[in-house]
Structure 1
């Protein structure tokens, strides 16, 4: 019965929310209108919200709001970030305040129209949180810096992702003192891992019980060669674009790593969603770099090398339990990512780590081996979260 209900909810969210285009005038203003007093707001403070009314929220037993909230970016500047909250209308049956799942979505692209709050229900957004909602938890999700809002998306920027996730957790918990669990897969796994490391210093007032970190591209340098010369290679353009968006002072040096064709594609990729045909083409980085060397070689040079190391998760220590899991057959984020992250954390003395590898058979179609690891993980993640909240 629960499986049937979940399927129906997914269909309703995808159909109905997807039918409300992000480009409608009220939503354009919501995302793009300036927030003149952003500097005076506190991190995690909501500066703008729009309630998603019937038939969605009321009809599904959820209170749903698109939100704009403040965070502090990697440059130390106050920044408005979009996201959404979903809260079941049924009373929380457990003791204490309703727990909050701070949700970091997987890669959806670089264009504002890809943001989870803009379409709420596309792959990587609402369907992934439905098991959490069915368990009675509130969900507070981030779109990440620059995805939905003005400015470029700072893809895989460690500090930006961690701060955006912790600040949306602040939105969800408000002043209730609710327990928080950080939750992310793929790009979201990178964000959840980064937030796990920074939670005690950036948001010490939050009651973070733990973090689910699924298939994280934790070390950007380990996620280049496996994508190169495949239909997944456009994600490499996202990575370069993310560095430029987060560090515009290095834009000229980073762009110079690419030839004119590579720079043109880099600019085009800023307007791609992962579901676009253009974002699923086979690319060889040797055709795009300025000297014909692979991108992995070019990004090993400065300033990219230092920037990518700074974006690596695993050099800090989480302050709460972590469940880290991945499929061994993942062809988008190689299993070596999780193994390396596990080894770095344990070498640093972190012991409250649950590590799981799923021996899912590999399918000979590029890209389809990534999502199954996230789906099968719910069987372990849900009871693990329940155990954290019972402490």
Structure 2
């Protein structure tokens, strides 16, 4: 395939400069943003209008005092909005919006980035909207704001709002991302770009597959999909017997939370220690010490077999198949990227997804980053996100300012 040079906006050079040093923004945004009122009543108070709200309708909002930095001001709102779960039932999802206060100087309406965050845990306190302004929230968004884009971010189902987090559920996370884009009250011509890395990459990929049928009115120009754990089986196999194994517990808990009618059957695969571990993980954030302990599923299952061997069980087989990305061709261009040495989400995830999507005729720009390996478990995942920014930002600018860009070369 040939590659077209991407035309850049006037704002891009500034954004790219900051993107190259995005890690420095962690310092600037490490002080939590002040909350206007108690959080509990915002998240937990019943939403009387849920039954009549339409997907993407904001049912509650609250302004957040925002910091100033890098010569940029922006307005922030914490939001609750209506979405639709994997069983087609209405649900309330939390999230937030960030809008630069400076006027948009590019063509047409201000572009909207529908942002899907990476894994933060299972407890409500881990939600991105609950930790606005801390290390876990703003740094990755800063280059997007500097480019002048409006960012609308989802917390996903059950992360912040009542109910359990449906971790790595294709339908729930994809719909939550599409519906948070709808919260921006976009015009028919407003460019929308899906954006996510890690769990966020999974959500962005899921949304890209679902957009044509679930949100056809959105003018989605493209989707950035970074290091997606697209296949649940490979995800569990990689993280079992490691200090990153809390994500295995998160994955099982996500199934239990998403499919309550099958919860008993799933839990029955585990012994008392396994059930205790699953229950404990429902209250973890990834920053908790317990989330870094080694998890060996052979010590948690009832029959002593690893969890990957249990995935052919009728209880789990249908669930894992339903939550594997790559069965539907996205209707928009996709930028798929991955670090070669990623030890959290192995690069085979993206290589397999690339093959599946291209076999279906999707337009994919694919990039692998061969970065120096870091001899610390789990340390080779995030560098792939930082490395991608200098390529992804001009790709997004090209979509927005030069029209939909055909797929580039595989590098």
Q: Normalising TM by the smaller chain, what interval? A: over 0.9
Q: Is the 8 A contact 2:188 2:218 kept in 1?
A: no
**Given the alignment of the two structures, is residue 74 of structure 1 paired with residue 90 of structure 2, yes or no?**
no
Taking the aligned partners of 1:346 and 1:361, their CA distance within structure 2 comes to 29
Q: Which residue number corresponds to residue 393 of structure 2? A: 382
Q: Say which SS state the counterpart of residue 129 (structure 2) adopts.
A: helix
Greater share of residues in helix:
1
Q: Say which SS state the counterpart of residue 184 (structure 1) adopts.
A: strand
1:285-324 to structure 2, matched below 5 A, reads 285-324=297-336
Relative to the length of structure 1, the TM-score reads 0.95
Q: Say which SS state the counterpart of residue 148 (structure 1) adopts.
A: coil
Taking the aligned partners of 2:108 and 2:181, their CA distance within structure 1 comes to 17
Question: Structure 1 residue 11: deviation in Å?
Answer: 2.9
Question: Structure 1 residue 226: deviation in Å?
Answer: 1.4
Pairing partner for 2:156 from 120, 123, 144: 144
Question: Structure 1 residue 349: deviation in Å?
Answer: 1.9
Taking the aligned partners of 2:21 and 2:243, their CA distance within structure 1 comes to 35
| Per-residue Cα deviation, 1:87-116 (whole angstroms, up to 9, x for no partner) | 000000101110000000000000000000
Instruction: Output the aligned Cα RMSD.
Output: 1.9
Relative to the length of structure 2, the TM-score reads 0.90
Question: Structure 1 residue 300: deviation in Å?
Answer: 2.3
Distance 1:202 1:72, change over 3 A: same
**Given the alignment of the two structures, is residue 15 of structure 1 paired with residue 61 of structure 2, yes or no?**
no
Pairing partner for 2:350 from 338, 347, 357: 338
Q: Say which SS state the counterpart of residue 79 (structure 1) adopts.
A: strand
Taking the aligned partners of 1:269 and 1:200, their CA distance within structure 2 comes to 35
Structure 2, unaligned stretches of length 5 or more? 1-13, 404-411
1:64-143 to structure 2, matched below 5 A, reads 64-143=76-155
Q: Is the 8 A contact 2:230 2:325 kept in 1?
A: yes
Taking the aligned partners of 1:113 and 1:138, their CA distance within structure 2 comes to 25
Pairing partner for 1:358 from 354, 369, 376: 369
Q: How many residues align?
A: 386
Q: Which residue number corresponds to residue 370 of structure 1? A: 381
Question: Structure 1 residue 372: deviation in Å?
Answer: 0.4
Taking the aligned partners of 2:101 and 2:24, their CA distance within structure 1 comes to 18
Q: Say which SS state the counterpart of residue 119 (structure 1) adopts.
A: coil
Distance 1:171 1:223, change over 3 A: same
Distance 1:276 1:172, change over 3 A: same
Structure 1, unaligned stretches of length 5 or more? none
| Per-residue Cα deviation, 1:204-241 (whole angstroms, up to 9, x for no partner) | 11000000000000111111121111100111000000
Greater RCO (CA < 8 Å, at least 6 residues apart): 2
Q: Say which SS state the counterpart of residue 172 (structure 1) adopts.
A: coil
Question: Structure 1 residue 14: deviation in Å?
Answer: 2.0
Distance 1:191 1:87, change over 3 A: same
Q: Is the 8 A contact 1:238 1:270 kept in 2?
A: yes
Q: Which residue number corresponds to residue 203 of structure 1? A: 215
Q: Is the 8 A contact 2:93 2:156 kept in 1?
A: yes
Taking the aligned partners of 2:75 and 2:187, their CA distance within structure 1 comes to 18
